[in-house]
Structure 1
Amino acid sequence: MATEAPDGPTAQSTDEPVHVESPSHLESIADEHDVVLVDFYADWCGPCQMLEPVLEGLASETNAVIAEVDVDQHQPLAGEYGVRGVPTLVLFADGEQVEQHTGVLPADRLRDLIEKYDD
């Protein structure tokens, strides 16, 4: 079981995707960071698996936090965001949802979306 460490060296790095544990966890991630790209995914989803290395690269290359929500484990949370298919990507800027896209987007398009909101 993971323990939460909000500050200090034990806090989870933003250079790799953050696995969302609960709706409140997602809310705190969106509130604490300027730009957050949330990937609603499923382990059985082929396109999601193709997108995973792209998101890992963006996590290390950009200032955005990449958060991952397993729709099978967090069905109510996926429903709250109107997720009808996976992958669905939701972009938050300054704590507010600003974009939502269903399907795989190329790395350069995702990078452009992040940079658009990263002041």
Structure 2
Amino acid sequence: MTTDGHRGSSGQSINEPVPIESQGHLNNVVNEHEVVLVDFYADWCGPCQMLEPVLVGLAGETAAVIAKVDVDEHQQLAGAYGVRGVPTLALFADGEQVEQHTGALPADRLRDLIEGYTNE
């Protein structure tokens, strides 16, 4: 059995966005990490493309895990979280959803959101 490069024990830093494959995968990521920022995106979405380098940067410089859900591939998963537009960002802390924002947010605002829930 092999493990992919995105898995890690709780507390291990993941320095790049994690592509989500299913509801179960998302649940595992949310439950294994203190703070998870989930980006519900679409490849055809201009604001999503502009947000991508911001999220890559945040994955490397914050304690949060950045997870990515392609709404075209995972429509039911997006629907379960009430995603009506992309990008939609859902923030989870200690296994619970604590914030949700539609639209691209600037890096400093996202960093402040994440840092508000990390216990460093």
TM-score, normalization by structure 2: 0.90
- Mind listing any 5+ residue stretches in structure 2 that lack a counterpart? none
Which residues of 2 match residues 1-119 of structure 1 at below 5 A? Answer: 4-5=3-4, 6-7=7-8, 14-119=14-119
- The AA in structure 2 aligned to 1:78 is A
TM-score, normalization by structure 1: 0.91
CA separation in 2, counterparts of 1:26 and 1:82?
15
- Mind listing any 5+ residue stretches in structure 1 that lack a counterpart? none
- What is the CA RMSD across the aligned residues, in angstroms? 1.6
CA separation in 2, counterparts of 1:97 and 1:21?
19
SS at match of 1:117: coil
CA separation in 2, counterparts of 1:92 and 1:4?
24
CA separation in 2, counterparts of 1:23 and 1:4?
18
Moved over 6 A (4+): none
CA separation in 2, counterparts of 1:56 and 1:116?
19
Question: What's the CA shift string for 1:22-70, capped at 9, x where partnerless?
Answer: 0000000000000000000000000000000000000000010000000
CA separation in 2, counterparts of 1:43 and 1:103?
15
